[in-house]
Each structure stands twice: as structure tokens, then as C-alpha cells.
Structure 1
Amino acid sequence: MERLIEGLLYRARWLLAPIYLGLSLAVVALGVKFFMELYHLLVESPFISEASMILIVLSLIDIAMVGGLIVMVMMSGYENFVSQLDVEEDGDKPNWLGKLDTSSLKAKIAASIVAISSIHLLKKFMGLEKIEHYDLMWYVIIHLTFVVSAFAMGFLDRLKK
């Protein structure tokens, strides 16, 4: 009985595979949104202010960072929890692939969240006339929470080593 349960649990890891595959569809959706924003930037650039242009570019950077984060989670999660990726060693393989354990993946996710939050906060600061000071205060508090959490996770990770 124990062997049957352990075998089922071991094979159940494959239930995660469709989830990681679904994340690739999220990257496709982000790609669509990225090119919609890029089109908007190129078409409207002669008619919009510099601040608006910077906000659109920050949105493009934000989308690219989220896409990179999704790819990192998708591929590292698959390798850590489902099965090793068998890809050719032809130089096209990302250098981090196969090297991110759950601890380093967690640290990279935390750092990415801080970077994404920084861009979001910068966008809020640049559009200052459109946001209440009270709301801006909460954005800063939430961002600082991300920063402190990422720092604490890194610090605790170093203590474990």
C-alpha cells in the first residue's frame, strides 16, 4: 500500500506540467500587449508629451520584465518539480537553466518583483497629477514591503548556508 501511494505521489508531479505550459500562454498574451503598446507609442509619439512617452516606455519595460519572470518560473519550476529539460548544448540555452534551485529561484523572483514594483512606482510618480497622495503613500508602503521582504529572504538564505 505504501509503495502504491508513493508511486502515485511521485507521478503526480506531472500534474504541474500543464500549469507550466499554461504560463507560456501568459507570455504570448504579454507579447500581444507589448506590441499593442509599442504600436501605440510609434503612432502617437509625434503627438504625445515626453512624460507620456516615458510612461509608455516604462510600460514596455514592465511587460518585458514580467515576461522574463514568467519564463524563469516556468522553466526552472518545470526542472525543479517535474523533469529535467533535455535541450541541446548549442549555446542557445540560457546560462541559468539547470542551475536555479528553489532557493535561488525564490531570490530571483523577489528581486524581479522589487524591480517591477519600482517601475510601477516610478510610473505613479510621473503621473502625479492623476493620483491622490494617500494612494501614493500606499504604493510606497507596498513597494517598501517588497524591498524589505526580498532583503529579509536573502538575509535568511545566507544564514542557512
Structure 2
Amino acid sequence: MLNPGESAPDFALPAANMDLIQLADYRGRHNVVLYFFNKDHTPGGIAEAVEFSERVDSFAEHDTVILGVSMDECLAHELFREEEGIEFELLSDAEGEVSRRYHALKKWEAHGMVRYGIDRSTFVIDKHGLIRHAFYHVAPKGHAAEILGLIRSLDSVDA
């Protein structure tokens, strides 16, 4: 697991529109809320994405961008963004490489089959690339409001 105070692992992943997004691009300019979710079009995935999307402007007031990551392909993300009105980037980690580095990819066995999936996780990364908050096993409902509160308190600490 990653902990507050550690450097956030850098990455480059394709967004829904196929543009490559790098965490390093935000360093020195923006805080980043990086959240990992199971899948597009699932009840939890929809709830969490919509709640973050409804607060995009509030996050932007605090120099913060939101990036959602799942193992869905870019085209699925694009459709999901259009259908749900998502106002931030969704990144495709199809191989699970970045999810592994953030300890958000979990392995489990069911009926003799080994499966991998995302453990819903969120990281608040400051402008210096340090993890300020790390959450694993996140419940999607109400989570975006909680994270916005932490971003606001981050501003007062950094001021």
C-alpha cells in the first residue's frame, strides 16, 4: 500500500480521446485526485464518476484535476463520458500496470479461477507529486464530497 508522504508513482496512460496523460504534466501546477474504479457502466462506477464530475469546478478552484482510472478500453471510456456527462479524464490501464503500482489491483480466486480487479482506491497528490491522502476499499457514494473537503484543507495547510 502507498502512504501519505510518499512520492506518487509516475505514469503515462491514454485518455478516452487517446491522448497520453502523464502525472508529471501536472507537477508544479495542479493537485491531482487520482481514483481507481472497477468498471464503466457499473452502479458504483457511475455514482462515483458523476459525483466527481458534479464538483469539477469546485476542484478547479483549488488547482486540482481529477483523473479516473480503470482497466476499460479508451472507447468504452469515451462512451461512458458521453452517456453520463463526465467532465474529467478517464484513463485506460488495460494491462493493470499502473493499478498494480498503486496497489489498487487485487487478485482473488473464485470457483477455481484466478481473477483480477480494481479495489476502489483514491489518492490525493499535491503539486510536488507527494501523496497527501491514500484511501483503499472506498465506498463510492459521498466520496467525492469527502475528497473535496480534504483538498480545501490542503489549501489552508499550503497557504
Query: What TM-score results when the alignment is normalised by the length of structure 1?
Result: 0.28
- Structure showing the higher strand proportion among its residues: 2
Query: What TM-score results when the alignment is normalised by the length of structure 2?
Result: 0.29
**Structure having greater relative contact order (Cα 8 Å, sep ≥ 6):** 2
